[in-house]
């Protein structure tokens, strides 16, 4: 992450803190609540779409190598696979899917 992005993230975090305070004080408008609902819905849909694409890519690797992504990743992390480019890509896709799943859990409030 570069310094410009860090600065922007800090600024957004500060604005979100202010927004949270408004809600806690009961001073947030209906528009604010509706906007947040739409934002969460949009981000959820976008993440679901990305996860669906990743799952299709993972399914291709699973079919090609005859094992589930979970089994492959366990073997990969244990050093039981070689370092062919397919395996590096597959591991990256597994990590991306896990990150998206965690993102969806946060968006859902879990």
* Distance from C-alpha of 3 to C-alpha of 17, rounded to nearest angstrom: 21
pLDDT one digit per residue (tens) for the chain, 110 residues: 555 566 789 999 999 999 999 999 999 999 999 999 999 999 999 999 999 999 999 999 999 999 999 999 999 999 999 989 999 999 999 999 999 999 999 999 98
* Distance from C-alpha of 34 to C-alpha of 63, rounded to nearest angstrom: 43
Domain residue limits, the chain: 30-108
CA count, 13 A, side-chain hemisphere, 21: 6
The length of the chain is 110
On whether the CB atoms of residues 43 and 107 are closer than 8 A, the answer is: yes
Work out whether the CA dihedral 6, 8, 11, 16 comes out positive or negative. Answer: negative
Q: Tell me, yes or no, if the pTM score tops 0.85.
A: no
């Amino acid at each position: 992450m570069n310094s410009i992005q860090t600065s922007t993230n800090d600024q957004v975090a500060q604005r979100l803190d202010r927004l949270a305070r408004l809600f806690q004080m009961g001073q947030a408008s209906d528009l604010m609540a509706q906007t947040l609902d739409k934002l969460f819905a949009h981000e959820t849909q976008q993440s679901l779409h990305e996860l669906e694409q990743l799952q299709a890519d993972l399914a291709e690797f699973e079919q090609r190598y005859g094992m589930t992504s979970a089994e492959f990743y366990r073997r990969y992390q244990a050093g039981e696979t070689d370092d062919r480019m397919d395996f590096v890509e597959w591991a990256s896709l597994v990590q991306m899917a896990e990150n998206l799943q965690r993102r969806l859990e946060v968006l859902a409030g879990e």
